Amino acid sequence: MNTKTPLLLKRLSVISLSLLLVLLIAMFLGISMGSTTSGIKVVFQSLFKAKESDPMLDTIIWQIRFPRVLLATLVGAALSLGGLVFQALLRNPLAEPYILGISGGSAIGAIIGILIGLSRFPGVSLMAFAGSIAILLLILVMSSGQTILKKDALLLSGVMVNAFCAAVIMFLVSMTQDSRLHNIIFWLMGDLSMVDMGHVGILAAILCPCFILIFWFSNSMNLLLMGKEMAQTMGVNIKAVTVILLVTTSFMVSATVSYCGLVGFVGLVVPHLLRLVFGPDHRVLVPACVLGGGAYLVFCDVLARVLPKQGEMPAGVITAMIGAPLFIFLLKKTRR
Amino acid sequence: MAIHVKNLNYYYGDFPALKNITFSVTTGDFFIIIGPNGSGKTTLLKVMAGILKSQADQLEILNRPVDHYSRKALARTIAFVPQMIPVDFPFSVTEIVLMGRSPYLGMLGLEEEKDLKIAKQALAFTGVEHLAHRKLDQLSGGEQQRVFVAKAICQEPEIILLDEPTASLDLAHQVRLMDLMEKLKNERGITVVMVSHDVNLAAMYGDRLLLLNKGEIVEMGDPKEVLTFQTLEQVYGCTLLVDENPLGKTPRVTPVPRKFMNIDRQEE
């Protein structure tokens, strides 16, 4: 073996390829499953442009399911990565955008944007970003100073921030006598159904550079886990790395919130699962979170579509039902 | 000169933690900073490590002003072993030690075969190669400390700074760690600068000691010059017995409890 080859390369490619396979399987499931159940063979025919494919099914697959699956992939990837970054930077394995209240802050911003009639992009997205940054600053102010980021303090503040955000959201929703009310409430619970390919394209264009940027700083995150002082004496520009990562992550999260509302706990479940399997090296975990997180949310969305007897439920319902019990389990485990 | 500190003042807000400190550490020395709690020892070490910022002309590393170094160049010159290393995430010992190569690698820190070899040598040097595949959080305090020394060695620095490395170790691990640092100094010519609470370890291992009190230098020199009972009693504000260690002929300091006060110390 060539001694110049980075040791990580082989491991990284094996892991990425296997998770990519999982993601492709999930996407195929996502495209096949739905209210009009169709045989896998028929879906194959439509996917690969076989001659006698049903035009009706074609429309369902390409206009409805395909964008939805892509959206779930992007959102799952972004939220998983968000959890991973927050866990590393706050040195707290329970940190997650939804639990900390970052998602809630984005939601307030997004709702204000919707209510004053802004377009989804860039208006609502920018409002959501402003909301998430406001909450981020609040968290940083609360956790700075003498009481540095104790696990429990951070979680308590998150609970309060979330309670406050929920109250503000209900306040805003109650103040309007709007026909859009039902939509807002459904959207709030993490609804993946209201997109077309144009939206997915914009979201991909926003998120993919963020993924690359975070991967670029993945080794800095490893070093930061050994403490700020140690990282600093190993050549990491702590302030720059922290600011870039926190702002990028908040930006990603707010972008997902403005497209599909609050999908909770994805950033908790996916990084924990992947860390358990692949270890704590962020150079592996960042790409793994993108692929694995995408697959996870696509699976959850399939459940959300298949389980209800009629209609469907928001994917956020499923992620919360899986994530919240895991959170309680982890909280119990990390307390000593 | 490995480190030269010149007219250094350091403030926490309005509180002066270090007042007009000037001294040099000779290359290849085992240099130990001692002093009571709150004397500014750790602050001084962190300034030398570049963690706390000094003013431009106050700190020279290997005869170059510290601000002439890039972050990575400084990391290739000085390694820092902090007192408390939080281990919330389950890195393996090899992964931790390999991180010491980061200052030599690109942004992603992609290690090559050569780096793994250096890491293995560092693990062997500190006597923890049998732990290479264990997770850090499964190790005892003494083993963790040796792993972080191995990480520092893997950084291939000219200078290693340690913040009270023996503070939480039992007697056997204290001596093993100090022996290891001495071996590092003798075999690799690395300058070792350590902050320590333990005056007796400092007396036995230090080539030169620096005694700090209330942010000022009280005394600097070899252990016999610094560790006199007049100086120590004045600095620590308690009664002390200072005699000679029968083995190494280095000073030996014993705090004197109240109930022993009536025994005449001159009879020793």
Domains parsed from chain B with CATH numbers? 3-228 (3.40.50.300)
Q: Tens of pLDDT along B26-35?
A: 999 999 999 9
Whether A230 contacts chain B with CB within 8 A: yes
Residue among A218, A229, A239, A330 with most chain B CBs within 10 A, to mutate: A229
Cβ neighbours for B57, distance < 8 A, ≥ 6 positions apart: B6, B65
Element (H, E) at B34: strand B30-34
How confident is the model at residue A310, as a pLDDT? 76
Q: What are φ and ψ of residue A268, in 5° steps? A: -95, -50
Strand, coil or helix: B9: strand
Question: Contact B51/A7, CB-based, under 8 Å?
Answer: no
Whether residue B124 contacts residue B183, with contact meaning beta carbons closer than 8 Å, is answered with no
Question: Contact A233/B90, CB-based, under 8 Å?
Answer: no
Q: Rounded distance, CA B45 to CA B53, Å?
A: 11
In a domain, A20, yes or no: no
Q: What's the domain count of chain A?
A: 1
Whether B114 contacts chain A with CB within 8 A: yes
Question: Contact A1/B113, CB-based, under 8 Å?
Answer: yes
Contacts of B91 in chain A (CB under 8 A): 222, 225, 279-281
Cβ neighbours for A50, distance < 8 A, ≥ 6 positions apart: A44
SS3 content of chain B, % helix, strand, coil (to 5): 40, 25, 35
How confident is the model at residue A6, as a pLDDT? 81
How confident is the model at residue B268, as a pLDDT? 47
Whether B75 contacts chain A with CB within 8 A: yes
Question: Contact B102/A223, CB-based, under 8 Å?
Answer: yes
- Residue range(s) defining the domain that contains residue A173: 71-334
Nearest residue in chain A measured CA to CA from B69: A235
Q: Tens of pLDDT along B24-73?
A: 999 999 999 999 999 999 999 999 999 998 876 789 999 999 999 999 99
In a domain, A47, yes or no: no
User: Average of pLDDT values for B248-255?
Assistant: 92
Contacts of B116 in chain A (CB under 8 A): 7
How confident is the model at residue B57, as a pLDDT? 78
In a domain, A6, yes or no: no
Contacts of B80 in chain A (CB under 8 A): 229-230, 233
Whether residue B157 contacts residue B76, with contact meaning beta carbons closer than 8 Å, is answered with yes
In a domain, A56, yes or no: no
Q: Rounded distance, CA B229 to CA B241, Å?
A: 7
How confident is the model at residue A282, as a pLDDT? 96
Contacts of B46 in chain A (CB under 8 A): 229
Q: Rounded distance, CA A138 to CA A132, Å?
A: 10
Whether residue B222 contacts residue B208, with contact meaning beta carbons closer than 8 Å, is answered with yes
Range list of H helices, chain A: 8-32, 40-47, 55-59, 66-89, 97-100, 102-115, 125-143, 151-175, 181-188, 197-216, 218-224, 228-232, 238-260, 266-278, 282-306, 315-334
Name which of A81, A96, A116 is nearest A108 in CA terms: A116
Q: Rounded distance, CA B7 to CA B173, Å?
A: 37
| Cα A182–Cα A184–Cα A187 angle in degrees, nearest 5 | 110
Whether A193 contacts chain B with CB within 8 A: no
Q: Tens of pLDDT along B115-169?
A: 999 999 999 999 999 999 999 888 988 899 999 999 999 999 999 999 999 988 8
Query: Which residue would you say has higher pLDDT here, A144 or B207?
Result: B207
In a domain, A90, yes or no: yes
Peptide bond into A308 cis (omega under 30): no
* % pLDDT > 70, chain B: 97
Strand, coil or helix: B254: strand
Nearest residue in chain B measured CA to CA from A334: B88
Q: What are φ and ψ of residue B219, in 5° steps? A: -155, 150
> Which pTM value belongs to this model?
0.90
User: In tens digits, what is the pLDDT along chain A, a chain of 336 residues?
Assistant: 445 678 899 999 999 999 999 999 999 999 887 666 566 666 766 666 655 667 777 787 888 889 999 999 999 999 999 999 999 988 888 888 988 889 999 999 988 888 887 776 788 889 999 999 999 888 878 766 544 455 667 777 888 888 899 899 888 888 876 666 667 777 777 778 777 888 899 999 999 999 999 999 999 999 998 888 899 999 999 989 999 999 999 999 999 988 888 888 999 999 999 998 999 999 999 999 999 999 999 999 999 888 887 777 888 889 989 998 988 888 777 654
The letter for the amino acid at A190 is G
In a domain, A172, yes or no: yes
Element (H, E) at B213: strand B208-213
CATH at A132? 1.10.3470.10
Question: Contact B112/A4, CB-based, under 8 Å?
Answer: yes
Nearest residue in chain A measured CA to CA from B161: A233
Which burial class, exposed, middle or buried, applies to B176 when counting CB atoms under 10 A from its CB (0-12, 13-18, 19+)?
middle
